[in-house]
Amino acid sequence: MSVLDKRSAGRRQPRPGASPDTDAGDTAAADSTAGADKSAPEHGRSGRRGLPLALNAVSVALGIALWWALASAGFKLPTPPEVVSRAGTLIGDGTLADDALASLTRVLVGFALGTAVAVPVGFLMGWYGILRGLIEPWIQFFRTIPPLAIIPLAVVAMGIDETPKIFVIFLAAFLACVISTFQGVVNVDRTLINAARVLGAGDATIFARVVVPASTPFILVGMRVGLGSAWATLVAAELIAAQEGLGYRMQNAQLYYDLPTIFVGLISIGILGLLMDRVLLLAERRLTRWQERR
């Protein structure tokens, strides 16, 4: 029997006592129902995508309204129009752009260096028990010391140029990312590793094909946490004889009780950090498409 004959034989036969027209109608109805079922998830997905954006917009509006209400009620806060006016002044004379560029450069360099060192160190700790025993006590020791407490030592050892600022940010990003990478390697399903060994894969192949992909979600989460730590450390890092930067501008405004400038710096840091976090989140979704998602 040919393939075409098999397909013809597999077609649904008319029900006893039913006309071909009735069966054709039933088939058309079933097809239309299936089409409706296929299209329904598309509408559901688009609705689910739009809902978070709408909720975000509502949340931002409510936050601004609450801020305005508190400022109008006598709290020592600048009103949103005052902050917008100050932001326009700082943007007009180029101060905000210079400060944002200086701070962004420090964060990017420190974060990139911290991540570049944390990922291989985390892999080594998770893969080799000997290295884990040698490195982990130091990692845990420095995790208990806030990066801000390293500033005096960094100034004495490295001077007052950009090096100590970047080093403190590097340390904050490194400590957050290395632990997450280490946990990612440790939590790899041993069944996958054993199955790869049974199929004849060596350590290098297992590491590249099993461990690295399985650890990627942990690494990206650690990078997001490290990015937050880097921005949180920025203001204190710019205490080290900085002449420009968002943190420096906020500390300088504090001396003159210039609250609108402080708010401009806070909002700028929040926006830049949020944008960078969205980039990492997009990378996480692209690199972990193989995971089941709800």
Q: Do 45 and 155 reside in the same domain of the chain?
A: no
Which residues have C-beta within 8 Å of that of residue 8, sequence separation ≥ 6?
none
Judge whether residue 212 has pLDDT over 80: yes
Q: Is residue 1 part of a domain?
A: no
Give the pLDDT confidence score for residue 49 in this predicted structure.
Answer: 62
Q: Do 155 and 238 reside in the same domain of the chain?
A: yes
Q: Do 70 and 189 reside in the same domain of the chain?
A: no
The CA-based angle 146-279-290, given to 5 degrees, is 105
Q: Do 69 and 139 reside in the same domain of the chain?
A: no
- Count the neighbouring beta carbons within 10 Å of the beta carbon of residue 206: 20
Q: Is residue 165 part of a domain?
A: yes
Helix (H/G/I), strand (E/B), else coil: 79: coil
Domain end call among 59, 77, 95: 77
Q: Is residue 5 part of a domain?
A: no
Report d(CA 199, CA 201) in Å as an integer: 6
> CB–CB of 90/236 below 8 Å?
no
Domain end call among 36, 58, 77: 77
pLDDT in tens, 221-241: 889 999 988 988 888 888 777
Q: Is residue 294 part of a domain?
A: no
Q: Do 134 and 34 reside in the same domain of the chain?
A: no
Q: Do 44 and 119 reside in the same domain of the chain?
A: no
> CB–CB of 184/215 below 8 Å?
yes
Q: Alpha-carbon Rg of the chain, whole angstroms? A: 29
Residue with tokens 């203001």: 235
Return the higher-pLDDT residue of 97 and 237.
97
Give the pLDDT confidence score for residue 33 in this predicted structure.
Answer: 46
Q: Do 134 and 172 reside in the same domain of the chain?
A: yes
Helix (H/G/I), strand (E/B), else coil: 235: helix
Judge whether residue 12 has pLDDT over 50: no
pLDDT in tens, 114-154: 999 999 999 988 888 898 889 989 998 988 888 778 888 88
pLDDT in tens, 111-121: 999 999 999 99
Q: Do 71 and 183 reside in the same domain of the chain?
A: no
Sign of CA pseudo-dihedral 188, 226, 102, 265: positive
Domain enclosing residue 205, as ranges: 78-287
The tokens of 91 are what?
């943007």
Q: Do 142 and 279 reside in the same domain of the chain?
A: yes
Q: Report residue 211 CA to chain centroid gap.
A: 21
Q: Is residue 193 part of a domain?
A: yes
| Local confidence band at 293 (pLDDT 50, 70, 90 cut-offs) | low
Max distance between CA atoms of the chain, in angstroms, equals 96
Q: Is residue 6 part of a domain?
A: no
Amino acid at 61: A
pLDDT in tens, 42-83: 555 555 666 778 888 899 899 999 999 998 888 888 999 999
| Local confidence band at 291 (pLDDT 50, 70, 90 cut-offs) | low
- Count the neighbouring beta carbons within 10 Å of the beta carbon of residue 80: 14
Report d(CA 226, CA 221) in Å as an integer: 9
Q: Report residue 278 CA to chain centroid gap.
A: 6
**Distance set, CA 256 to CA 250, 253, 261, 264 (Å):** 10, 5, 10, 15
Give the pLDDT confidence score for residue 48 in this predicted structure.
Answer: 63
pLDDT in tens, 159-199: 878 888 899 999 999 998 998 899 888 888 788 788 888 88
Q: Is residue 292 part of a domain?
A: no
Report d(CA 230, CA 108) in Å as an integer: 9
Per the structure, the count of domains in the chain is 2
Report d(CA 178, CA 148) in Å as an integer: 19
> CB–CB of 161/98 below 8 Å?
no
Q: What is the pTM assigned to this prediction?
A: 0.74
Give the pLDDT confidence score for residue 15 in this predicted structure.
Answer: 46
* For residues 22-44, average pLDDT: 47
> CB–CB of 227/273 below 8 Å?
yes
The tokens of 34 are what?
């299936």
* For residues 21-41, average pLDDT: 46
Q: What is the CATH number of the domain that holds 248?
A: 1.10.3720.10
Percent of the chain with pLDDT over 90: 29
Report d(CA 86, CA 261) in Å as an integer: 6
- Count the neighbouring beta carbons within 10 Å of the beta carbon of residue 97: 11
Q: Is residue 85 part of a domain?
A: yes
Report d(CA 162, CA 130) in Å as an integer: 36
Q: Do 102 and 55 reside in the same domain of the chain?
A: no
Judge whether residue 7 has pLDDT over 60: no
What does the buried/exposed string (b/e) look like for 53-68 if buried means 16 or more CB atoms within 10 Å of the residue's CB?
A: eeeeeeeeeeeeeebe
Q: Do 99 and 225 reside in the same domain of the chain?
A: yes
Q: Do 51 and 158 reside in the same domain of the chain?
A: no
Give the pLDDT confidence score for residue 39 in this predicted structure.
Answer: 47
Q: Report residue 7 CA to chain centroid gap.
A: 50
* For residues 205-232, average pLDDT: 86
